[in-house]
Amino acid sequence: MSDPVHPSPEPDPVLASFRKSIDNIDAALIHILAERFRITQAVGEYKAKATLPPADPDREAKQIARLRKLSEEADLDPEFSEKFLRFIIDEVIRHHERARTR
């Protein structure tokens, strides 16, 4: 409903363009994360069948070091990247632990 006393300002086309790009990137991130979790789910099921541990600290450390380097090359804060990756890894490990108890 429009407010005749306080009409909506005209949309800023530059801001709208930026926001559309952000929305597209956010959608891509969600799809990429969904695909990553589909693959790690298969890894968890494999680990459960092969009686492998849900976590692999050596692999995790290597991944974090690799992604910190990539972050630096991409001019992205490596601390942020590590926190983001750690969040994902922790969730994957929870999934792997669940797969082990099924």
pLDDT in tens, 56-71: 999 999 999 999 999 9
Q: Are 67 and 81 in contact (CB under 8 A)?
A: yes
Residue 102 pLDDT > 90, yes or no? Answer: no
Please report the pLDDT score of residue 2 as a whole number: 61
Residue type at position 50:
A
Residue 48 pLDDT > 90, yes or no? Answer: yes
Mean pLDDT across the chain, nearest whole number?
93
Domains of the chain: 13-101 (1.20.59.10)
Least confident of 15-19, 54-58, 95-99: 95-99
Tokens of 13: 């086309």
Residue type at position 51:
T
d(C-alpha 66, C-alpha 72), whole Å: 10
